Amino acid sequence: MRYLVAGCLALAVLGGSAQAATSILFVGNSFTAGAESSAINYRADEVHDLGPRGDDGLTIGGIPALFKTFTKQADLDFDVTLETEGGVGLDYHYRQKLPLLDRAWDVVVLQSYSTLDARRPGDPGLLVEYAKKFDTAFHARNPDVKIYLNATWSCADLTYPNRTPWHGQGIEQMALDIAKGYDEARKASRGITDVVPVGKAWNRAFATGFAGSNPYDGIAENQVDLWASDNHHASEFGSYLEALVVFGKITGRDPLSLGPKETAAGDFGFTPEQTTALQQIAHDELAAE
């Protein structure tokens, strides 16, 4: 019932109709792009990339394309656009890309630097400042725009090795600090709708034992690795979980409604059991919110 009500409310506030697709913009970096896994090129032809890369004009699919795939299976009509740049935060996008992004969107998903601030890991100051600036800019274009902040995950390479920002703390702590920073940004902005709890969903995957929590010690055969080989970016499993949480938060639809034979999971080669487990984790985290 909770997801049924949420879904109806989401469609109402998004102005869902049979006549016009809901426009959604994703702004982020390599975490949004699905870098270091096959998610980066996933169904790139079904989304609009505002920044084709290189002389060959390659475009990115990433989390936006996974989101698009989910919405199609849910019979929702979204027109999906993305702008990503590796290794940057919202401050870069605002200073360098605002003319490209400054349109009347129905929904916007913003994801900033992985540690909040490259020079001061864990400091939300830049995020708070530029989330407010984007909030003002997008609401000037469309007073009814819904803006979400995508709070990302703990990075193993920033937690386990010596002399890294979260060394000596549990793997969950970085995600909790990131989530706290995004929540501060939401509270400081008048018009931001909500925070997408991706990092907390990863923590839940560790807590349930579905995902291994320390790739430096090796991942057990009965567990999946949410990180890519660099122990920083997301693997296909991590990207899929990210996209599920984004999908559930924005549409109000239960991720479990996609089912064990969900298209993208099949494309990635997940088993039905793995697919259902990931959907359950996303469901549980969103329900906890």
pLDDT for 51: 84
- Over residues 54-101, the pLDDT tens digits come to 555 678 999 999 999 999 999 999 999 999 999 999 999 999 999 999
Which of 141, 47, 52, 125 has the alpha carbon at shortest distance from 89? 125
Beta strand 48-49 with 78-84 is parallel
Name the pLDDT band for 12 (thresholds 50, 70, 90).
very low
- Over residues 263-273, the pLDDT tens digits come to 999 999 999 99
Encoded tokens for 17: 């109709």
Which of 201, 251, 248, 226 has the alpha carbon at shortest distance from 16? 251
Encoded tokens for 283: 């469901």
pLDDT for 10: 53
pLDDT for 231: 98
pLDDT for 289: 84
- The Cα–Cα gap between 138 and 182 comes to 18
The alpha carbon of 135 is separated from its chain's Cα centroid by a whole number of angstroms, namely 18
pLDDT for 9: 42
Would you say 90 and 110 are in contact if contact means Cβ atoms under 8 Å apart?
Answer: yes
pLDDT for 250: 98
Judged against a pLDDT cut of 80, whether residue 4 lies above it is answered with no
Fold of 2-288: Rossmann fold (3.40.50)
Encoded tokens for 54: 């290189």
Q: Domains of the chain: which residue ranges?
A: 2-288
- Over residues 188-226, the pLDDT tens digits come to 999 999 999 999 999 999 999 999 999 999 999 999 999
Average pLDDT of the chain?
A: 93
